[in-house]
Structure formats: structure tokens, C-alpha cells
Structure 1
Amino acid sequence: MSQYRIAVIVGSLRKDSFNKKLATALSRLGPADFSFETSRIDDLPLYNQDDDANPADSVKRLKGEITSAHGLLFVTPEYNRSIPGVLKNALDHGSRPYGKSVWNNKPAGVIGASIGAMGTALAQQHLRNVLAYLNTPVLGQPEAFVHAKEGLFDTDGNIGSASRDFLQGWMDRYADWIRQHAA
């Protein structure tokens, strides 16, 4: 395959989100044969099964982006020891109607940043549980619970020197995972 298209799903809506910055910086660490495109989830209506037969345009757009992607990159904060509602809503939309999930067999990576010392460990575990049910193969190792602190990003928005080697290693392993599992 000459080019791998990766749909990036950021679980934060905040303008200055650490996770949006992390997603952008990680994409810069990606290999040359990977392209990263953030899938918008902030405009999705709340999931309602009554709308399955006539989904909103934003839902159709998200499903199209996921369907055409070779892999997924989830970058999520942790809200109250779990995943943000906006991310769960996107997962629900993409998994319906039953039997037509766009998440099925899409290889994925899960990562996130938080100011807390545990990073986003619990949110990532909850997300992994949901993705397991959706039959989305997720990179297991290495795990990356990123502590968002001074120096994580340099002045240009790249990963800072203290975290660069670790996150480059994570990205290299993620790229191998996608190449191994992408259809």
C-alpha cells in the first residue's frame, strides 16, 4: 500500500486542548506513507436510534471518513475517570445501525494527555473496552499515558525533547500495527 489514511478522533472540544495539540504533534512523527486527517465530532447530534434510517449529514460524513480510513488514532482526555461524552457519542453513531458498524476491523491506536500524573489511563482503558466490543483491534503495547506538563510541546507545537524519543517509539509501533492490520 503506497499511502495509509488515518482518521484521527480527538475526544476533546476545548480550543486549546492538550489532546488536539498531541494529535497534531504525533501526526508530525508519522512515517511519510501515512496521512492523518482529524475527523470532526463536535457537530454530531446526540445519538438516537430513531434517526438510524435518516442520519444527519454530519453523521454520514463521519461514517464516510472512518470507512475510507486504513486505520484510526484516538487521542482522548479523561473526564471523571472515563471517556468524554462527545467521543462516546461518535462511537455510538459509527456503530449503528446494528450490523453496519464502521469501526469493525479498523486497526487503532489509543493515546491521550492530561495534567494528572496518571495521564489518561482510565479513559484509555474504558475506550479499549468499547473498541473491543466494536471489534476494533487496538495496539496493546506500548501504552502511553502522557503527562501534559511544561516541555511536552516545543514552541512550534512539536513534541518536546524530553518526550520525543518515547512518543516517536510509540508512533513507530503504531505505524507497524496499522501496516500489519490494514486491509
Structure 2
Amino acid sequence: MTTDKQTRVAVLLGSTRAGSLNRRIAEHLRDHAPAGVTVDVVEGLDDVPFYTEELDGETAPASASALRQAVASADRVLAVTPEYNGTMPAVLNNAIDWLSRPYGQGAIVGKPFAAIGATPTPYGGKWSHEHARHSATIAGAVVVDGIVVDVAALEGDPLADEASVQRLLGALDDLVAHQVEAAVA
């Protein structure tokens, strides 16, 4: 049985720098997504105010509502992020906070989730990706086990290295292929 349904992947960028390596990775995944997969890089995370209940609800800021809509309309969520001081950047943590609300019903609830990316350190973003997966789990996402791509960009551009590119594309393939188990009623 074949289907014409596109699988939509929303990418949350941990770096807000226009020319960042992680933005380039996200754009490479978007531009080289396999047939049947649409990768949308969610823009404007740096415009979303820090989460507080006083801002949420019927009058949530437009930037937060756009973030929620982008993830709600996606089938999968992929964080592509560097590591700042041994953890995920505040902009990514804040996005997950907004996506987790309202509690138990947020836009990220039930969505397959993975975190990948690169840093110029020898650790490749290991802790950032672990923290993003942990936070997304608490927020209600379904973190896909086994997707670990921590690229240390110490010796050049990982997008110029075919093995690194294949690992990144393989992570996207694994996220798309993940089947969410139906809840038992």
C-alpha cells in the first residue's frame, strides 16, 4: 500500500546566528530531505518571550502562537542545536517550555523528537542534546531512542565530510521512520 502523505518535520534551531553551523545543518537537511519528507525550519525562536503563565492563554504572543502552530502541524520535531556552557541554548529551552503548554495538551505532546547538531568543542553537543531530549520528554514528546549525532567541528566543516553528512541524513531518516505506538485505552 502506498501513500502520498508527506511527513512534516519541524526543526527547532538552538542557534539564532544567521550563518551558524547548526542553521547550515538544518538547511542542508531541508534541501536534501528524502522523497515524501518536508523539513520546515521554524523561524523566530528568538522573538518568543520567555515563558510565563501571565503571557500565555487567549492572548499569547503571536510569536509563541506561530511556534505552537508550526509544531502542531508537523509530524516530527528535530532540534538542531549547539551546546552553550554544557547545556542547550536558552532559546531552545524556552521553545520547549512554550510547546509543553497547556500541560498535557501542548503542541509537542506525542510528537517523535530527536536532537542533533554540532559544536566547535570536542564533545560535539553531547550534553545539549541529552538535555534537549530530557526536557522534550518531560514536555510530552516521544523521544526516539538511538538517534545520537553529536558532531565536533574541530577540524573543519562537517558538511564537507561525507560521513558526517550521512550520519545527519541518517538521523532524519530514523526520526521519520519512527512509529509511535498507539495508546492503550
Structure 1 length as normaliser, TM-score? 0.88
The CA distance in 1 between the partners of 2:20 and 2:157, in whole Å, is 15
Partner of 1:98: 103
Residue 182 of structure 1 deviates from its aligned partner by: 9.1
Deviates more, 1:103-112 or 1:167-176: 167-176
The CA distance in 2 between the partners of 1:147 and 1:70, in whole Å, is 29
Partner of 2:176: 175
Equivalent residue letter for 2:107: V
Q: Where in structure 2 are the equivalents of 1:5-154 lying within 5 Å?
A: 5-40=8-43, 41-53=45-57, 54-148=59-153, 149-154=155-160
Matched residues, number: 176
Residue 30 of structure 1 deviates from its aligned partner by: 2.3
The CA distance in 1 between the partners of 2:102 and 2:114, in whole Å, is 24
Structure 2 length as normaliser, TM-score? 0.87
The CA distance in 2 between the partners of 1:120 and 1:61, in whole Å, is 27
The CA distance in 2 between the partners of 1:119 and 1:97, in whole Å, is 33
Secondary structure (helix, strand or coil) at the match of 1:49 reads: coil
Q: String of CA shifts for 1:89-117, please: whole Å, max 9, x gaps.
A: 11111222334311100111210100111
CA root-mean-square deviation = 1.9
Aligned CA distance change for structure 1 residues 142 and 73 (closer, same or farther; 3 Å): closer
Q: String of CA shifts for 1:107-140, please: whole Å, max 9, x gaps.
A: 1121010011110000111111111111211122
Aligned CA distance change for structure 1 residues 31 and 86 (closer, same or farther; 3 Å): same
Over the matched positions of the two proteins, sequence identity in percent amounts to 33
The CA distance in 2 between the partners of 1:102 and 1:129, in whole Å, is 17
Identify unmatched segments of 5+ residues in structure 2.
none
Q: With a CA cutoff of 8 Å and minimum separation of 6, indicate the structure with the bigger relative contact order.
A: 1
Identify unmatched segments of 5+ residues in structure 1.
155-159
Equivalent residue letter for 1:33: G
Residue 35 of structure 1 deviates from its aligned partner by: 0.4
Residue 61 of structure 1 deviates from its aligned partner by: 0.9
The CA distance in 2 between the partners of 1:182 and 1:84, in whole Å, is 30
